[in-house]
Amino acid sequence: MDGTLTEPRKQIREDMISLLSTMSNFADLGIVSGSPIEYIQEQMMPAFEVMTEEVLQKLTLFPCNGTQVYTYDASKKCYCLKHRTTFKDFLNTVGDSSVLYTHLIMNLLDLQSYALKKYSDLKVSGHFISFRDSILNWSIPGRQADSELRQNFVSVDSKHGIRSHLNEVLRVRLDAFGLSRLETALGGSTSIDIFPEGWDKTHVLNHIASEDVYFFGDRCQPGGNDYHLYKKLSLKKRSYEVAGPADMIIKGMNLLSRINLDE
Ligand SMILES: [Mg+2]
Mean pLDDT of 182-203: 87
The mean predicted confidence, pLDDT, of the chain is: 93
User: How high is the pLDDT of residue 238?
Assistant: 94
pLDDT higher for 187 or 193?
193
Tell me, what's the pLDDT at 263? 55
Residue 43 CA to ligand 1 center (angstroms) comes to 13
pLDDT range class, residue 188, cuts 50, 70, 90: confident
Task: Check pLDDT > 80 for residue 260.
Answer: no
pLDDT cut 70: percent of the chain above it: 98
Distance CA 189, CA 157 (A): 9
pLDDT at 176: 95
Cβ atoms 107, 170 nearer than 8 A? yes
Cα diameter, the chain:
70
Distance from Cα 217 to the centre of ligand 1, integer Å? 6
Q: Is the pLDDT of residue 171 over 90?
A: yes
The SS3 assignment for 166 reads helix
Evaluate if residue 143 carries a pLDDT over 70: yes
| Domain range annotation of the chain | 87-196
Contact 164, 175 (CB under 8 A): no
The pLDDT value given to residue 52: 97
Distance CA 258, CA 165 (A): 53
Determine the distance separating the centroid of ligand 1 and the alpha carbon of 225, expressed in angstroms.
7
Cα 135 to ligand 1 centre (Å)? 20
- Using the mean position of ligand 1's atoms as its centre, give its distance from the Cα of residue 38 in Å: 16
Q: Per CATH, which fold does 87-196 belong to?
A: 3.30.1240
69, with CB counted inside 10 A (0-12, 13-18, 19+), is buried
The Å distance, Cα 118 to ligand 1 centre, comes to 40
pLDDT at 173: 97
pLDDT band at 82 (very low <50, low <70, confident <90, very high): very high
Centre of ligand 1 to C-alpha 33, Å, is 7
Residue 188 Cα to ligand 1 middle (Å): 18
Look at residue 234 in the predicted model and tell me its pLDDT: 94
CA of 7 to the centre of ligand 1 (A): 9
Q: How far is the CA of 6 from the centre of ligand 1 (A)?
A: 9
Q: How confident is the model over 207-257, as pLDDT tens digits?
A: 998 889 999 999 898 877 899 899 999 998 899 999 999 999 999 999 999
* 8-12, 70-74, 156-160: least confident range: 8-12
Where do the DSSP E strands lie in 50-190? 59-62, 68-73, 78-84, 129-131, 136-139, 182-187
Region 146-151: mean pLDDT is 94
SS3 13: coil
Sign, CA dihedral 216-219-221-222, equals: negative
Pairing of strands 68-73, 78-84: antiparallel
pLDDT bucket at 10, cuts 50 / 70 / 90: very high
For residue 95, the CA-to-ligand 1 centroid distance in Å is 34
What band does 261 get if pLDDT is binned at 50, 70 and 90?
A: low
| Distance, CA of 78 to CA of 136 (rounded, Å) | 30
Calculate mean pLDDT across residues 63-91: 94
* 44 Cα–ligand 1 center, Å: 14
What's the pLDDT tens digit per position in 85-136?
Answer: 998 999 999 999 999 999 999 999 999 999 999 999 999 999 999 887 888 8
Could you report the per-residue pLDDT of 32-49, keeping only the tens digit for each?
998 889 999 999 999 999
